[in-house]
Every structure is written in C-alpha cells, then in structure tokens.
Structure 1
C-alpha cells in the first residue's frame, strides 16, 4: 500500500470507530464474566441504597458521587447481581471515552497544524487514531474498566473529555445559537463529571490550558475563563457546604469531603510520596509490568532527602518543558501539562488513604496518549509514513496483548490476589483479601496463614498478637469455625463486639450471624435465632442472616414462619439467589412435612 492510500484509509471517518471497537472486543471482550472484587461488595452488592433503595437513597448515601452510583443502581435494578451487565456498561464507557479522545485529538491537531497538503492530511489521520488506540489498549486502564466499582474513574473521564470537546466546539462556533448549545452541553457534562468523581474539580484549569494551547494568550479571554472557573468552584464549594453542613471555605473541612475517606498521612508526607508516585506513574506508562491493585505501603514518616529533590527537579523540568513547547510542539505541551492537571486533586497535598493506585492514571492518560502520538508522528520525515505506521501498530499490538493477558488474570480471583500478595508482601490488604478467597475455596488453614501474614504486615513486618481490621476479623472467625475451633471463634466474636467502638453495620451483622451459626451447630436454636434476628436488625441487606434464620425456623418445624422470613428477606434483597432457592425449599416443605431445611449460609 502506497503512502497516499494509507493516509486516505486512516483518515476515513469510518475507520477509527471500527478499529476501536475491534480493539476493545479483543482486549476486554472476555472480561464480561469477571467476578466482583473487594470494594464491589461494599459499594454495590452490600449497599442498601443500590440493592433495595431508590434515587433518593442513593443521593443520601453517595451525594458527592451521585451520578456514578446511580449507574450502579440502574445496573442492579435491571440485571440484579449478575456481573455481565456491570461489565458491559464499563466496557461501553471505555470505548466511548476512547472515541471522545479521538475527537478531541482531531480538534487539537486541526487547530495547531502548521503543515498543509499531504503532510497535514497524514497528521490529521495518524495522531488522533494512535492517541485513541493508546488510550484504549494501555494496560494501566484495566483497573478503571475491569474492576467494576472503578467505573467512577472512567465515567468521570468520559464527562471530562466531553466537556473539553464541547467547549472547543462552542468556542469556534460562529452562530450564536450553536455557541450557546455547545457551551450549554459543556456545562451539563461538567456538572455530570463533578458529581461522578472528585478528581474532575480540575476542569476549569483544563479549559484554561485549552485556551492557551489553541487560541493563544488572549488576556481578556483567559481572565474571563479563569473568573468563570473561580465562580464555578465557589458555587460547588457552596453546594458541598449545604449538603454536608460544613464551612465550604474551610480547606480542612472541604478536603475531608473531597477525599471521601480517612487518611492517617499528613499533607507534607503525602506530597513527598506523590513526587515519587507521579514519576512511578510515568514509568508504568512507559514500561507497564508487574501491575497490581495494591503497591507496598509507604514508610511513615517520610524524611525529606536527595531523592525528593531529584523527583521535584524532574517534575519542574517536565512542567517547564510543557510551557516552553506550547508554541513549538503544542500537542506534546498539552499532554505534559494535562498529565499534571489531571493528577492535581489526588496526587498533590490532599491525603488519600491509598497513596498509589493505577486507576488514577485513567484521565491523565488522555494527555499522555495525545503527546505520545504526536511524538511518534514526528519521526515520519525521518523514516517514512509506512515505517511510522508500522511502529505505532506494533506498539499498540504489544500493549493490547498485555491488556488481554492481564484481564485473563482478573477471571481467577484467587490467583489474582495470590499474585498481588506476592508482588506486595509488605501490604496488609492483599493478604487479608487472599485469606477471604482461600476461605471461599474451602482452604481455611491457608486462610489462617494468610491472615497471620496480614497481621505481620500491620505490625510492620514483625510477628506479634493478631491485628486485623473488622472485615478481616469476619474472615478470621469464619476460618476458625471451618477448622472446628468453635471456642476460639466465639471468643473473638464476643471480644470484638464488646470492645470495638463503632463497627461497620455489615461487619457487625456478619459477626452476629457467625455467632448464630456456632449456636446452631451446638443445638442452641433459641440463641441462634436471637443472633440472626439481631443481625437482620443491624443490617437488613445481609441475605445470609435471613437465610439462616429461616433454616432455624424450619429445623423447629415452623415452616410458615420460615416462609414469611424468606419473603421479607427477598423484599430487602430482591432477586437474591440464596433466598430464592431457600424459599423454593420452604414452599415444598409446607406440603411435605419431612422436607429438609435450607442449607445454612456462610
């Protein structure tokens, strides 16, 4: 194929959507059956507002991320706890985001191109397609796509990119009504982004960057956009203040809401960690190997040293290069500066519990992909159009292969967490979660060993008394029960319930349910019933509590009461398969006095 035909082919408006669709099918088509992972349970499957609530309940629980969680609510109402629908939406969001990156890159290329004729056509054909492809197939994107609850990151990025694209359309529109429509659409998608994930609060800065890169240093325009951004930020702070009953102009109070989670890391320590973290993100973009959910935790406190000076110097040079290149290489300049803007909320001075996670790269990869595509394109005069196209294709295929292979790992939850624990042996969470997976695989002794490793990680790598968070305590109790250590399990439950201050309602419900299970095994049905009922009172959307209460009632030949309990449980846990199967057993028991009770949940 000669160069002219290659340019014509890649420049066709139909090629990009077809190529991106094929790539997403190859890279993510086999992820539609990937099981739920850890935060998927607490945020979706075990959330009363998602399972049995409505939009008002979702707003009350997740107001700052209302739109993102409403998509989970809609998923659950349509398809129940089936993973297929959740993954289908996630993959569709990722594909749509890649198409928007393609359109944004086209606008950036068109409005910054200095070439004409065939060179301009090649640039317009090559850079947007390569940028969208890199964004779509890079393995760093997996966590925001295959890990269901991180839809928040990909959906927020989709709205973020759409806002920038619509702003450009409105900015260059000549008719007043077209300008108004596009700017109105930009405001809508901006609002959607802000109520999906907090990292999108940098949108006004990204709009300012577009103004500078595409339209120059028009002081009046920049002041107008900056003023608008300040007004939007102040309005948002006011809304958050009203929603959370805080002083919206108190940095500490506002930061607490924006983080959405507690952190024991100080601002200074967090900032120093992020100097290295940002460099590490760039390293994983260039060489994406040994990717994982949890990286080894930081050693606190962080002592300022020579490495922090080097990392700070690197970032200052990179930002300086972005400023210097704004007229010489505007797409590379945009990509560099966009990377830092997109990381500003989560990787600067607002401490977040997890100091380094891959899904934070989803939005910054928009800028890096565009900059990389432009950089590759610049080799065209040196090695020719076909050679550059082949090189870009080979890089994309390698990344696609890595993405497909890593997605395969997500299908095996036990193997996935074993690998994470192996790669991050000093991190508490992989060990605590692999223990839960061992328990699900009926390997309670391995679960107890993994919990011992988790406790050592919590103790700074040293052996000592078992120290676990409340969720891991639930796993610990269940493993003790499985190996027949009933007395030890009961002691742990009683100690935890009596000494812990504010236990998460779900975990309290699980501990009460396990205590009921022990009582039931020992024949103390009245004690078991009392614990199950208390577990239901504490957390009504724990289906195991309902199921096990029904099992006790059936064991006492109270089938009619068991049926009522299961129907009430299904009203709190619609379409739950455990309760539906047990209800079928109970219904038969009402006609057959010798029917066995439903199996106890675990």
Structure 2
C-alpha cells in the first residue's frame, strides 16, 4: 500500500514536468516509490508499533489511513483525466475516421464512460470505508480529512475557481466526519450536560485532566523536535520515556523548539510550488501527529509508536530528495537509497534484540532513565515471573527510594516477599499500601493471602471481605473467602461464595474443585460428582480433580 501511495503522489506531482517518453523518468518513479516503502518498513522507529503487540492498532489504523488516501487519489486522478484515465479515452485518432467509424467511436466512449463511472464510485466508496475502518482501529486517524485536503490542494487542483465549487463538498465532508468521530468515540452516548456544546466537547477531548491543554501543547513542541531527531538519527530509542511536561511556553527549550518547527513549516510552504513532494511530506508529518501532539492532553507525552503513520511523510521526502538531486545519475540514487535502507534495517535488527523478552526490554528502559519508576516496577514483575524474587525486590526497593508512596511498588514488593515466605515483611508493605490507598482491593486480597499462609484464617477472611466491599465482582476474593470458610467448617457460606465466583468466572478450575469438595463434605455426592466432571472438561489432566472425583465415586458406591 505504501508503494502504491508513493506512486500515486509521484505520478501526479511529476506528470507535468516529466514526459512519459523519458526513460530515466519512467524508471525513477517506481524506484522512488519502492524506496519510500522500504524506508517506511525498515526504520527502527517502527519497531514499537510492530513488535509491541498492544500497539499493533497503530499499524492497522495506518494501513486503512493510507488506503483511504490512496483510493481518494486514484478516484481524483481518474476524474481529472490523469494517468489512469488517459488509457480509457483514446479519442484523438478516431475522430479522423469515417462517419461510420465515428459513430462506433461514440458508442465505445459511452461504454467507457459507464465503466469509468463504476470505477470512480468504487474508489470513492473504498476511500470512505477505509477511512471509517481507520478511525475504528485507532482514534489518532481523526486527522484524515486534513490529509485529504492536503492531497487535493497539492496533488490535484490549486486553482481558486476549482476550490470555490468544492468548498460545499468539503464542508459537508468535515461535518459528517466530525459527527462520525464523536459518535464512535462515545460522545453522544453519555448525553450533553447542558453547559453548552463547546464545553462538553472540550471536556470530552482529553484523556487526562492532570495536564492543561497549554502545558501539553508546549510540551509537544519539544516532543516534535525529538520525533524529528529520531527520524534522522534513531539513537537512544526507549519504550517508555516518561517525558516531563513543560509548565509554559518560556520554560526550557520550548521557544527554540517552536522556532525550529516554524522553520520546517516555512520550508514546506516555500516548496508548495517549487517542490510539492517536499511540502506534502512535511505537512503529512504534522497533520498525522495533530491528534496526539497538539491540544488534546494525553497522560504520556511521548511514545515512539505515534510516529508509525507520520513516517510516510518522512520516507516520501527523503526518497524524493535522493532521486531529485541525483536524477541525472540514477545508479547513484539507487546506491544512496540502498545504503540508507541497509543502515536502517541494521538498526532495526539491533533494536529488536532489546525486545527479546520482558527482562531485556525493561532493563533497557531502566538503564536509559534511572528515575523511571514504571520501568523498574515492570522489570521487577518480569523477574518475579521468572521466579527471581530476590532480584525483583531490589528494583521494587529502588522504586520506593524514588517514590516512597508508590502503591504498586509496595504491593509488588509485598507479593515478592510473600513468595519468599517472608510474610511479616510482606504484611508491613501491604499495610503501608492500604494507608496510602484504602480503596485498592488488590492490596486487601494479597494481605488476606499472606495472613492465610500464616494460619490466621479469621484475619484473612476479614481482608477478603474488605476486598469484596470495594469490588463485589472480585471472583478470586470469593474463591479465597470460600476456602477460609470451608476450613472453618462453614460449608454453606463457602458454597455460596464458590457459586458466586463461578457466576463471575465460569471457567475457574480451582473453584470447581473446592466447590466439589464442599458439596461432598455435606454429603451431596451426586452434585459433587457433576462439579468434578465439569472441572475435568476444563482441564482433563488435573490429577487433583480426578482424585477427588474417584473418591466421591467410591463414597457413593459404599
């Protein structure tokens, strides 16, 4: 899709200046398109969007976004009688034929126009469908109408006469797109609060209230400079930058960043008539970042996967510059392009080594920002999964050294200590976490587990009840509370909690087993056998469940 998108741009922009008979021109156009695609896929900045499973929405959305613009351009090029339509209406030679042949030519033209209309409708329809699918995939694609306008102006028609006729159509398009975006994002589902539509939209268009729009915008001036640096020099890449927010326009390097970005936009404006490809690439970069790098506050200022779609503008600009300045020496253009692509590909390979597993990834993030508590927490969690509990505690203690009131660190450290059988230390961290955040049901749940492991069943049951008061649909807490009640001999209440856990989590194997045991202890062997068999349908290899089933069957035959 990127190859075809590049070709569509290139054909339209160069069609007036490069004749089809020019062999070097015919050769450079598809080659340039290929280089655009290869830079797009080989650049290491794309690693996060591709390798990180949770961010593959970015690549899916980009595919539909590119497809929407591509199909729009195809339709408009045909509509304008451009590259595609020239082969359909070959009329010039036929008009010089005899009358009978002219009549036949008119019939052929009528048939061609019919096919032409179907093709045109299909391309416009595909553009609309792909645009909708793009936004349904990821909301950063709300900028699509801006790119459509950019393509229309730079690639199709810059005449004021033409735009006067098109303004009503574009106004209608923007209106429908805005309604669609707000509807899909759920703006209308909650109703309007009556303070005014603008206030409601303003509140709706922010992911966090912890950052003001002005602070976020000023921060993004600096972030955009970092993005541009990463495009040209992808060194020091990081999964989680934890980039600080700028308190104002005159803080730090914000003013310099703004001037730098203004200069780049100025280069784009200056090249609108002289080199439209450069203008298109520059404006594509800014427009496709406009949702995530403008006045819509997001809790994380900087993420590399946000560059996945803007990368097309960068790749198009670089490819154009190489082939434009080396147009007389295409072999050199190919060599330079190959060097760029191979360098980027090598960097991508090396970057992917950091994504080998969670430990290597979070170790890399932690080493690049020693104050990144989120990375240290995640590194500790990854080590716990590898049963490297003592190593994990080192990173949790690091987090608490930086942020003494970090609830997640207290909770995770408590869990690691409990796995090391140091229950007293674990309980002290759970208690501290509760003091910081009394509404965290997970802390009560894990505190209950630690108390239960110490044999303090009554205290454990009170903690499970605390967890359930905060979150009644906590299936695991129902299961653990049922276990405690069963140990205390209160089988009836235990069965109630087991059944509730199964209602919330129908495939909860541990609950099936414990429920079967509780029913068997009540003498309800038939029900217990049914429950054990259901458990074996979930996991036929569970030896404990099979043993309990055999025991229940023996009890029944006595």
TM range (shorter): 0.7 to 0.9
Checking the alignment, whether the CA contact within 8 Å between 2:376 and 2:399 is kept in structure 1 is yes
Q: Are the counterparts in 2 of residues 480 and 486 from structure 1 also a CA contact under 8 Å?
A: yes
CA distance in 2, matches of 1:564, 1:308: 59
Q: Which digits, 9 at most, give the CA deviation of each residue in 1:348-382, with x for residues without a partner?
A: 12221111110110111011111111111123335
Match of 2:71 among 134, 158, 166: 166
**Partner residue, 2:238:** 292
1:516 aligns with 2:448: yes
Q: Pick closer, same or farther for the CA change 1:440–1:548 going to 2, 3 Å.
A: farther
- Give the distance between the partners of 2:41 and 2:48, measured in 1 at CA: 12
Instruction: Quickly say closer, same or farther: Cα 1:151–1:549, change in 2 above 3 A.
Output: farther
Q: 1:310 aligns with which of 241, 256, 274?
A: 256
Residue of 262, 267, 273 corresponding to 2:219: 273
- Output the CA distance in 2 between the equivalents of 1:402 and 1:539: 47
- How much has 1:287 moved relative to structure 2? 0.9
Is the contact made by 1:566 and 1:583 (CA closer than 8 Å) also made in structure 2? Answer: no
Residue in structure 2 matched with residue 424 of structure 1 by the alignment: 369
Q: What does residue 203 of structure 1 align with?
A: 144
1:227 to 153, 157, 171: 171
> Is the contact between residue 297 and residue 426 of structure 1 (CA under 8 Å) also seen in structure 2?
no
Partner of 2:154: 213
Which residue number in structure 2 is paired with residue 189 of structure 1? 130
Shift in Å, 1:125: 1.7
- Cα distance change, pair 592–302 in 1 and its aligned pair in 2 (3 A): farther
Are the structure 2 counterparts of residues 480 and 300 from structure 1 closer, same or farther at C-alpha, using a change threshold of 3 Å?
farther
| Higher RCO (Cα < 8 Å, 6 or more apart) | 1
Is residue 542 of structure 2 the alignment partner of residue 584 of structure 1? yes
Q: The residue matched to 1:242 in structure 2 has which SS?
A: coil
The alpha carbon displacement at 1:535 in A equals 5.7
CA distance in 1, matches of 2:426, 2:339: 56
1:378-434 alpha-carbon deviations (Å, 9 max, x no partner): 23335x222221221222122122212222221221121111011011222112211
Runs of at least 5 residues in structure 2 that lack an aligned partner in the other structure: 80-115, 514-534, 553-558
TM score, norm. by length of structure 1: 0.70
CA contact (8 A) 1:296 1:425 kept: no
Shift of 1:310: 2.1
Structure 2: how far apart are the matches of 1:272 and 1:555? Answer: 60
1:486 and 2:423 matched: yes
Q: Does 1:370 align with 2:302?
A: no
Among 90, 101, 124, the residue aligned to 2:2: 101
Select 2:274's aligned residue among 328, 344, 348.
328
Taking the TM superposition and a 5 Å limit, the aligned residue runs for 1:442-461 are 442-458=387-403
CA distance in 2, matches of 1:511, 1:590: 32
User: Is residue 399 of structure 1 aligned with residue 324 of structure 2?
Assistant: no
User: How much has 1:548 moved relative to structure 2?
Assistant: 5.8
The answer to whether the Cα contact below 8 Å between 2:3 and 2:34 also exists between their aligned partners in 1 is yes
Out of 558, 563, 571, the position equivalent to 2:506 is 571
Map of 1:477 onto structure 2: 414
Distance in structure 2 (CA, Å) of the matches to 1:552 and 1:591:
22
> Are residue 111 (structure 1) and residue 52 (structure 2) matched?
no
TM-score where L is the length of structure 2: 0.76
Q: Distance in 1 between matches of 2:250 and 2:176?
A: 36
- The verdict on how the C-alpha distance between 1:542 and 1:585 changes in structure 2, with shifts beyond 3 A counting, is farther
Cα 1:537–1:155 change in 2 (3 A) is farther
Contact 2:475 2:501 in 1 (8 A): no
Q: 2:188 pairs with 226, 239, 242, which one?
A: 242
Aligned length: 478
**What CA distance in whole angstroms lies between the structure 1 residues aligned with 2:546 and 2:509?**
21
Q: Distance in 2 between matches of 1:138 and 1:573?
A: 44
2:291 maps to 1:386: no
Change (3 A) 1:153 1:501: farther
Rounded Cα–Cα distance in structure 1 between residues aligned with 2:151 and 2:41: 22
C-alpha RMSD of matched pairs (Å): 3.5
SS of equivalent to 2:354: helix
Alpha-carbon offset, residue 137 of structure 1: 1.3
Pair 1:405–1:547, CA change in 2 (3 A): farther
Q: How far off its partner does 1:550 sit?
A: 8.3
Which of 467, 473, 491 is residue 405 of structure 2 equivalent to? 467
For residue 312 of structure 1, report the CA deviation from its aligned partner: 1.5
**Structure-1 residue corresponding to 2:355:** 410
Per-residue deviation, residues 25-78 of structure 1 (Å, max 9, x unmatched): xxxxxxxxxxxxxxxxxxxxxxxxxxxxxxxxxxxxxxxxxxxxxxxxxxxxxx
The 10-residue stretch of structure 1 (494-503 or 348-357) with the greater mean CA deviation from structure 2 = 494-503
CA deviation after TM superposition for structure 1 residue 346, in Å: 0.8
Partner Cα separation in structure 2 for residue 180 and residue 249 of structure 1: 39
* C-alpha distance 287-237 of structure 1, shift in aligned 2 (>3 A): closer
Matched with 1:150 is 55
1:136 to 20, 41, 45: 41
Kept in 1, the 8 Å contact 2:445–2:463? The answer is yes
